[in-house]
Amino acid sequence: MGLAKRIIPCLDVDNGRVVKGVQFLDIRDAGDPVEVAKRYDEQGADEITFLDITASSDDRETTVHMVEAIASQVFIPLTVGGGIRTCEDIRRMLNAGADKVGINTAAVFNPEFVREAAQRFGSQCIVVAIDAKKVSAEGETDKWEIFTHGGRKPTGLDAVEWAKKMVEYGAGEILLTSMDRDGTKNGFDLGVTRAISEAVHVPVIASGGVGNLEHLVDGVTKGKADAVLAASIFHFGEYSIQEAKQCMVDAGIEMRL
Amino acid sequence: MSEVKKSTVAVIDYGMGNLHSVAKALEHVADDNTTVVVTSDPKVIDAADRVLLPGVGAIRDCIGEMYNAGLVPSIRKAMAEKPFLAICVGIQSLMSHSEENSGVDCLNHFKGNALFFGEEHQDRDGSKLKVPHMGWNQVKQAIQHPLWADIPDNARFYFVHSFYVVPENKSEVAGTCDYGLEFCVALARDNVFAVQFHPEKSHKDGLQLYKNFIHWDGKP
């Protein structure tokens, strides 16, 4: 009896379609976001994350409509991230039916934005997304740094210290993506997941690198994550959410079945 | 042929954000004779057959906005006479007092306080527990109640909160949950029911609770 760990399928949405860049090269089309969200809802997903990766702001209106459509048909929590830069962006997404918003780059460039957002909307709906890369060499003490621009630009910020600062500023949850692992299917970076999960009192979602169900189990048991996020293993029918949950239950993890 | 009675559910809007999902979930389970209105108009609330009090954000702002919008008399009137459901911060606002925001006096419908889990919250074995309590937890039904109809005991509901209610009168506890300690997540007295979790985010069991509310005559 107790709180269940969560499985969160992630929809990377570009120009109104769910896509997944496999190894950052070919972008594979995985369908209509509303249909995909409904399928995961039926399969027992614990939450859904909608990541707007559309570059141009012209398509922001499309995202709002899509979030509205998902929120009127899917009755589990919905997080929307990508391009959230102002309180007005947050207000629009919450009004459209999002329960939480993910703030990423804007937090790096303007940490006060996180504080302002948490004060205005409550920490419960502010997820700070952290993209981390390992920067320590083999044999050195582990060290991870925050990167922006899809992992291309270093910031000099230590990932664990940054996570602590973001929680202090009001983040209600941390979405941690390993940029070394994202798209590789080699499993989460368990070191950074555990380091951050143990350093903060808010829930941590592990992301980046899931290639099989054992990786999800490891994220919780070894990485101490409160939730695990994956995209491609679910999008292309390799595994269903039910199979993933059963695998975690078999490993002794408390899940909602 | 007798005319079918039309009924209205008023979702109280006091400016504290996302009511979209609450309204959509109610509409999803409503029959053709039920209308869902999101409103900040006391007259609409007074005329409604059922009233739902949502709540997100900080308690000081919630209570402040209820007063600023002139809604407190209508909320009290509704709690005195018709089926009334409060959710999340809504349940906390019905208590006497909350220790959030350095202490806030609330509506005092249920005697008792809302307390903070604490940032160093621990499980009974000493392991660290994250705060907020966020995710799906099992709800033990403490009483039989029309709002629990067709919902299995220990069904999982979605929670996100850092404060929990401690009612003085234990006979008002309708459901409990376990997170380092056993605490109250549902309160019931007469025509008022209140829950800490989010039915609109709790999939089929949450929708069932809303369906039960839409059909509830307000009798325990």
Residues B75-96 have pLDDT tens digits of 999 999 999 999 999 999 999 9
Strands (E), chain B: 7-12, 34-39, 50-53, 84-87, 95-98, 104-105, 110-116, 133-141, 155-161, 163-167, 173-178, 182-189, 192-195
pLDDT band at B66 (very low <50, low <70, confident <90, very high): very high
Nearest alpha-carbon partner for B201 in B168, B157, B154: B157
| Per-residue confidence (pLDDT) for residue B101, from 0 to 100 | 86
What six digits make up the tokens of B174? 């309708």
Asked if B130's CB is within 8 angstroms of A203's CB, the reply is yes
Given a cut of 90, is residue B15 above it in pLDDT? no
Given a cut of 50, is residue B217 above it in pLDDT? yes
Which of chain A's residues have a Cβ under 8 Å away from the Cβ of B24? Answer: 71-72, 97
Mean pLDDT of chain A: 92
| Among the ranges given (A94-103, B39-48, B160-169), the one the predictor scored with the smallest mean pLDDT | A94-103
Given a cut of 80, is residue A28 above it in pLDDT? no
Give the C-alpha separation, B157 to A135, whole Å.
40
pLDDT tens digit sequence for A212-253 = 999 999 999 999 999 999 988 998 888 999 999 999 999 999
A52 in active site: no
What six digits make up the tokens of A53? 């990766």
Given a cut of 60, is residue A94 above it in pLDDT? yes
- 């209820």: which residue's tokens? B66
Asked if B128's CB is within 8 angstroms of A121's CB, the reply is no
What six digits make up the tokens of B67? 């007063």
| Per-residue confidence (pLDDT) for residue A121, from 0 to 100 | 86
pLDDT band at A55 (very low <50, low <70, confident <90, very high): low
Predicted TM-score (pTM) of this structure: 0.94
Given a cut of 50, is residue A23 above it in pLDDT? no
Establish whether this prediction's ipTM goes over 0.85.
yes
pLDDT tens digit sequence for A155-208 = 999 999 999 999 999 999 999 999 999 888 999 999 999 999 999 999 999 999
Closest-CA distance, A27 to chain B, in angstroms, reads 31
Which of chain B's residues have a Cβ under 8 Å away from the Cβ of A99? Answer: 18, 21, 201
Stretch B40-58: mean pLDDT: 93
CB atoms within 10 A of CB B140: 16
Which of chain A's residues have a Cβ under 8 Å away from the Cβ of B206? Answer: 75
